[in-house]
Amino acid sequence: MLSRVASNIYWMARYIERAENTARLINVNTHLLLDLPRRVRLGWEPIVDITSSRDYFYSLYDDADERSVIRFMVMDLNNNSSILSMLSMARENARAVRDIIPREAWEQINELYMRAKKDAPGVLTQRHRYDYMRSIILGAQTITGLLAGTMTHDEGYDFLRMGRNLERADMTTRIIDVRSAALLPDMSEDMTTFENLQWMSVLKSLTAYQMYRREMRLQISRPDVLKFLLQEDRFPRAFNHALNEAKSCLFDLPANDKPLQLIARLERKLMRAKPQALKQDKLHDFIDELQIGLIDINNCISEVYF
């Protein structure tokens, strides 16, 4: 398989996954803001932080008000991590491998981009926003499903799955990091309900709420949520699961020693830690380490295969 093709497929999957995750984030934040009392609302700035584009955002906008952040995150083509930019990059990557991926998948990707572009102005009003985000999420899921059901599960598919899962792991850490950092540090007792609401929103942004409930059968609480989202190996959006998926893809690929070593190292780090016991700043450091681990894996894959 050509390196360029492998790289196009890998990035196509990453961009689609990232667009989906961004849509999830925006949806959940919209709802969360409606539930929290005015004085503890965190607004939209955390969303900008999650995608590490704080400086860039403030170079373009004065205020992190709802309208600006939504515009920035959904339709601003200057922003590489806006939903439209990512779908456009996913489409360009898909276009270059049109002869490799099933025709329907290309059509879906093309259509998703066109639709996202056409409907984008609607997201500035809250009423249409939910439907828009839902259609992005469903569109991305359709593509994932189509590829799983119609693409030969060969090396190309391994790169696709690897891209998707590394992106997923990355987004899960980002959501935990920003959400927990912003979580009401010195709140009085009566605020715990709201803290729980926040953790619930973390779970919901990953569609993990229901699964968490089934799995943990517990109240929503910080330690359990952290444990679930980082170390659970059966929930698809948990860090551990995503890492395992990436690992299983690598088993089928040539020259996999180095990337596998890096994954094993990160896995050890993840499983040895007790994230639930970590205080806020320590948790942040730990998440940093996980992200650096993912970056190293990504770089190693680029170096070996692309």
The residue ranges that bind another protein (CB under 8 A) are: 1-4, 6, 92, 95-96, 98-99, 103, 106-107, 155, 253-255, 305
CA-wise closest residue to 25 among 203, 209, 213: 203
Contact 220, 199 (CB under 8 A): yes
152 to 38, 125, 157, 158, 301: CA distances (angstroms): 51, 41, 7, 10, 21
Q: Which is nearer to another protein, 68 or 256 (CB)?
A: 256
Which residue's entry shows tokens 């490799």? 100
Distance CA 34, CA 204 (A): 15
Least Å from the CB of residue 88 to another protein: 8
Least Å from the CB of residue 212 to another protein: 37
Q: Which is nearer to another protein, 6 or 32 (CB)?
A: 6
Least Å from the CB of residue 98 to another protein: 6
Least Å from the CB of residue 180 to another protein: 38
Least Å from the CB of residue 305 to another protein: 4
Distance CA 145, CA 148 (A): 5
The number of residues in the chain equals 306
Q: Which is nearer to another protein, 92 or 215 (CB)?
A: 92
CA-wise closest residue to 19 among 135, 147, 150: 135
Q: Which is nearer to another protein, 227 or 258 (CB)?
A: 258
Degrees to nearest 5, angle at CA 108 with 252 and 250: 10
Distance CA 237, CA 21 (A): 10
Q: Which is nearer to another protein, 103 or 134 (CB)?
A: 103
